[in-house]
Amino acid sequence: MYDDLIVLGAGPAGLAAGQYAGRAGVRVRVLEKGPSGGQMSDTFMVENYPGVGPIAGAELAALMEEQAVKFGAVITRAEVSSVRRDEQGFSLRTDSGTEYKCRALIVALGASPTKLGIPGESEFTGKGVSYCAICDAPFYRDREVAVVGGGDSAVEESVYLARFVSAVHIIHRRDRLRAIREIQEKAFREPKIQIHWSHIPVAILGKDGVEAIRIRSVKDGSEKDLPVYGVFFYVGLRPNSLEGLADLVKTDERGFIITDENMGCGIPGLFAAGDVRAKRLRQIATAVGDGALAANMAQQYLESL
Amino acid sequence: MAGTENLYVVGDSDFDQEILQSDIPALVDFWAAWCGPCRTVGPVVEELAEEYAGKVKIAKLNVDENQGTPTKYGVRNIPTLILFKGGQVVDQIVGAVPKSRIKDLLEKA
């Protein structure tokens, strides 16, 4: 399969890139292993995307996909496992052995929730440890749960969980939340949410599933066990990657791709966009901006050949 | 609700008959419409239903419409894929994983 431009990933960055490239007349294919939308699809409501909303994350994803396809982007469901440079540009191989080739490539692979690596976390994944409140909240109806983290996602998802559960314990290592004020206020208004300030989780306890979380005060080192049926982690993101990508790009110490101000990665024809990129703010709005710019730069690159 | 030819749709009422008493091993995909990662795994499970036809019975169970079975098997997160053989749980996978990992699970059948 040969295309002028391939976009890896159909989250907001990838779909925006597909839309802009397609509308500019570039032959563009977006490769995505799952449904379009990326992390957006796992977000209950998107409240901060300008001009639309509040809107369900899955619905915004569907709208973006529709618009990209309308302007000519081809979205193909494939799980890409490796990337390498070749004489013409780039070559991608899927897990089923199909090869896709292109002259320009936009990496928009996104990011996934970080695991903390505390005892019990892997053991109880699927038995009470979750990284997706919108997926699993109904299983915790009228039970107590813990949410680890204090950023926008942690607090927003706590408010969502509160619709189902009897109590949400937010475990946060600092003495104030990082989430923006509007989200914080929603949490403070929700009587089911209790915040355990200046505490870190040290272990998840249980037999066949989660029964409690052990937390430790960062102030005095004291520990206590909170009886909970589920633990939801929102402690940040790690970039998604694939074999061969590390040879082509520079990354920061956490693995996010370093680009120039025009999304270039230092190799002609290679760009990165969205959450996979090293940057200060990971939002749908910033991802879409990255995607549009990367598509435009890719178009210019293709025209220069 | 019927699935495609080789993809079964099961619920609380026929779980025993279709899965636990199945002559061949069975893989059950616990899913719901509200779950994004389930929509990643769904099409893969459909493909595998064709590939493993006659060897492993592959079925979907909607946890929204059927709450008894997920509770019985301690399912607290979706998607969860559980492999059954002779009425017993062999192994399970939680979350959206690559097709190759689901195949590894099916090889245990």
Interatomic CA distance for residues A32 and A41, integer angstroms: 13
What are the pLDDT digits (tens) for A63-106? Answer: 999 999 999 999 998 989 999 999 999 999 998 899 999 999 99
Contacts of A35 in chain B (CB under 8 A): 36, 39-40
Residues of B with CB under 8 A from a CB of A: 32, 34-40, 43, 63-64, 70, 74-80, 92, 94-96, 98-100
Contact A132 B35 (CB under 8 A): yes
Quick check: A9 and A61 in contact, CB under 8 A?
no
- Residue with the bigger pLDDT between A54 and A119: it is A119
Contact A9, A105 (CB under 8 A): no
Cβ neighbours of A96 in B, within 8 Å: 99
pLDDT at residue B5 in the model: 80
Q: Chain B: nearest CA to A147, how far in angstroms? A: 15
Closest partner CB to A79 (pick from B78, B92, B98):
B98
Q: Is A174 exposed, middle or buried (0-12, 13-18, 19+ CB in 10 A)?
A: exposed
Higher pLDDT, B34 or A7: A7
Q: How confident is the model at residue B36 (pLDDT cuts 50, 70, 90)?
A: confident
Q: List the domains of chain A with CATH numbers.
A: 2-113+237-304 (3.50.50.60), 129-233 (3.50.50.60)
In this prediction, residues A216-243 reach a mean pLDDT of 96
Instruction: Pick the more confident residue, B43 or A196.
Output: A196
Asked if pLDDT for residue A56 goes beyond 80, the answer is yes
Place of tokens 């245990």: B108
Q: Which of A33, A96, A230 sits opposite B76 (nearest CB)?
A: A230
A97 Cβ neighbours under 8 A, 6+ residues apart? none
Q: What average pLDDT does the structure give for chain B?
A: 91
Rounded Cα distance between A205 and A228, Å, is 9
Q: How many CA atoms lie within 13 A of A144 on its CB side?
A: 12
% of residues, chain B, pLDDT over 70 = 96
Q: How far apart are CA A46 and CA A89, in angstroms?
A: 37
pLDDT exceeds 70 at position B1: no
- The per-residue pLDDT for A29 is 98
Using pLDDT thresholds of 50, 70 and 90, give the confidence band for residue B96: confident
Q: Which positions of A are annotated as active-site residues? A: 132, 135-136
At B74, is the secondary structure helix, strand, or coil? coil
Q: What is the pLDDT of residue B99?
A: 84
Interstrand relation of A199-206 and A99-107 (parallel, antiparallel or unpaired): unpaired
ipTM: 0.77
Residue A60 pLDDT more than 50?
yes
* pLDDT score of B14: 97
Instruction: Calculate mean pLDDT across residues A190-213.
Output: 97
> For B73-102, what is the mean pLDDT?
92
Mean pLDDT, rounded, of chain A: 95
pLDDT score for B4? 66
Tens-digit pLDDT profile for residues A126-173: 889 999 898 899 899 999 999 999 999 999 999 999 999 999 999 999
Q: How many CB atoms lie within 10 A of CB A257?
A: 26
Cis amide leading into A54 (omega within 30): yes
Flag if A127 and B74 touch (Cβ within 8 Å).
yes
Catalytic one of B7, B27, B38, B81: B38
Inform me whether the pLDDT recorded for A200 exceeds 70: yes
Percent helix, percent strand, percent coil in chain B, to nearest 5 = 30, 25, 40
Q: What is the pLDDT of residue A35?
A: 83
- Residue A137, token pair as written in the block: 């909240």
Helical segments of chain A, H only = 12-23, 57-70, 133-136, 152-161, 181-189, 284-304
pLDDT tens for B5-32 read 899 999 999 999 999 999 999 999 999 9
- Beta-strand ranges (E) seen in chain A are 2-8, 28-32, 45-46, 55-56, 74-77, 80-85, 90-94, 99-107, 111-113, 129-130, 144-148, 167-171, 193-196, 199-206, 210-217, 223-227, 230-233, 237-239, 270-272
Greater pLDDT, B99 or A11: A11
Confidence at residue A188, expressed as pLDDT on a 0 to 100 scale: 96
pLDDT at B97: 83
What are phi and psi for residue A82, nearest 5 degrees? -150, 160
Active site residue B38: yes
Q: Which residues are within 8 A (CB) of A224 and not within 5 positions of it... i.e. 6 or more apart?
A: A214, A215
pLDDT of residue B37: 84
Give residue B2's pLDDT band: very low, low, confident or very high (50, 70, 90): very low
How much is the average pLDDT of A239-250? 96
What distance in Å separates the CA atoms of residue A67 and residue A182, rounded to the nearest whole number? Answer: 30
What share of chain A has pLDDT > 70, as a percent?
100
List the single residue in A with minimal CA-CA distance to B35. Answer: A135
Residue A120 confidence (pLDDT): 96
Quick one: which of A36, A209, A179, A120 has its CA closest to B40? A36
More reliable by pLDDT, A44 or A120: A120
